[in-house]
Amino acid sequence: MKFYIDTADIEEIRQANRRGWVDGVTTNPSLVAKTGRRHHEVIKDICREVDGLVSAEVVSTESETMFKEGLELAKLADNVVVKVPMIEEGLITVKKLTAERIKTNVTLVFSPIQALMAAKAGATIVSPFVGRVDDTGANGMNLVSQIIQIYQNYDLNTQVLVASIRHPIHVLESALVGAHIATMPFNVMKSLTNHPLTDKGLAQFLKDAQKVPQ
Ligand code: G3P
C-alpha cells in the first residue's frame, strides 16, 4: 500500500520524505488555505519536493471552468493529479481531462456507487473519506471494502485512495482490505512507528549494554 501525506505544509512533507514515508501527496483547498500562500506556488513547491503523485484540487463547480483549471494545474508539474469533486460536472471534467491524458482524483466520495461512477468516467484515483463517514455513525471502512469489491468484480483499474484517515486503525484496515493508497496527516504517519514494547525493550537493552565492555 502506498502512503501519501495529506498536507500542504512543505516542512511536514520534507520531514516525512526524509524518513522514506512519502509515496505521494494529497492537498485540498482547506489544507492550502492554512499555508496562507498562493495555490499554484504551493503545488509547484510540493511537486519539486517529491517524486510521487501530488493531488491538487480545482475550486470551481462548472465543467468548462473545472477543465480549464485542471489544464492549468497539470501544467505546473509532471506529477500533478487533478482532484475533482464527485459531482456530475466533476465527472464530465474527469472524462475530458482523461482524454488529454491528465490524471484525476475524484474526491468527496461517500458511497460505493459514486466510486463506480467515477471509475466509469475514467478516474485514475478515487478518494472515499473514511473518517467523515465514521463521524456520521456509519462504518467508513465498509465503504472502502465495497468499492474494492466492485472494482475487482469488473476489473476496473481506478486506484482506491483512503482519505480522511484519523488514526492508525484506519491505516491497518486500509491495508487489510487491499486499498492501493492511504493518505494521512503527518501526526498519524508518525504514530504508526510507535509501540510501547519497542520503547520498553530498547530501554532494557541499553541498560544491559552498559554492563558489557564495548
Ligand atoms: O484527503 C481528505 C482529507 O483531507 C479529509 O480529512 O480529516 O478533514 O475529514 P478530514
Q: Which residues are catalytic, by number?
A: 83
Note the pTM of the prediction, 2 decimals.
0.96
6-15 pLDDT, tens per residue? Answer: 999 999 999 9
45-99 pLDDT, tens per residue? Answer: 999 999 999 999 999 999 999 999 999 999 999 999 999 999 999 999 999 999 9
Give yes or no for a contact between 47 and 76, defined as CB atoms under 8 angstroms apart. Answer: yes
In angstroms, the Cα distances linking 150 to 21, 36, 87 are: 29, 40, 20
In a domain, 181, yes or no: yes
Closest C-alpha to ligand 1, atom 9 = 164
Q: What value does the CA radius of gyration of the chain take, rounded to a whole number of Å?
A: 19
The residues, ordered by sequence, that sit 6+ positions from 143 with a Cβ below 8 Å of its Cβ are 109, 110, 111, 112, 128, 130, 133
pLDDT at 214 over 90: no
Which atom of ligand 1 is closest in space to residue 132's alpha carbon?
9
In a domain, 214, yes or no: no
Residue 31 has a pLDDT of 97
114-166 pLDDT, tens per residue? Answer: 999 999 999 999 999 999 999 999 999 999 999 999 999 999 999 999 999 99
Domain count, the chain: 1
In angstroms, the Cα distances linking 53 to 25, 36, 77, 180 are: 6, 23, 10, 13
pLDDT at 29 over 90: yes
The residues, ordered by sequence, that sit 6+ positions from 4 with a Cβ below 8 Å of its Cβ are 22, 23, 24, 25, 26, 52, 53, 55, 161, 181, 182, 183, 184
155-208 pLDDT, tens per residue? Answer: 999 999 999 999 999 999 999 999 999 999 999 999 999 999 999 999 999 999
Nearest to 97 by CA among 63, 120, 127, 61: 63
Alpha carbons 120 and 199: distance in angstroms, whole number: 48
Q: What grid cell was written down for 116? A: 463506480
Residue 116 has a pLDDT of 98
Which atom of ligand 1 is closest in space to residue 31's alpha carbon?
4
Alpha carbons 39 and 81: distance in angstroms, whole number: 14
Closest C-alpha to ligand 1, atom 1 = 163
What is the whole-number distance in angstroms between the Cα of residue 94 and the centre of ligand 1? 21
In a domain, 40, yes or no: yes
Which residues does ligand 1 sit against, CB inside 6 Å? Answer: 6, 26, 28, 129, 131-132, 163-164, 183
User: What is the sign of the dihedral through the CA atoms of 21, 22, 26 and 31?
Assistant: positive
What is the whole-number distance in angstroms between the Cα of residue 165 and the centre of ligand 1? 7
Residue 29: give its domain's CATH number.
3.20.20.70
Which atom of ligand 1 is closest in space to residue 28's alpha carbon?
4
At 39, is the pLDDT very low, low, confident or very high (cuts 50, 70, 90)?
very high
In a domain, 203, yes or no: yes
What is the whole-number distance in angstroms between the Cα of residue 188 and the centre of ligand 1? 12
Domain enclosing residue 201, as ranges: 2-209
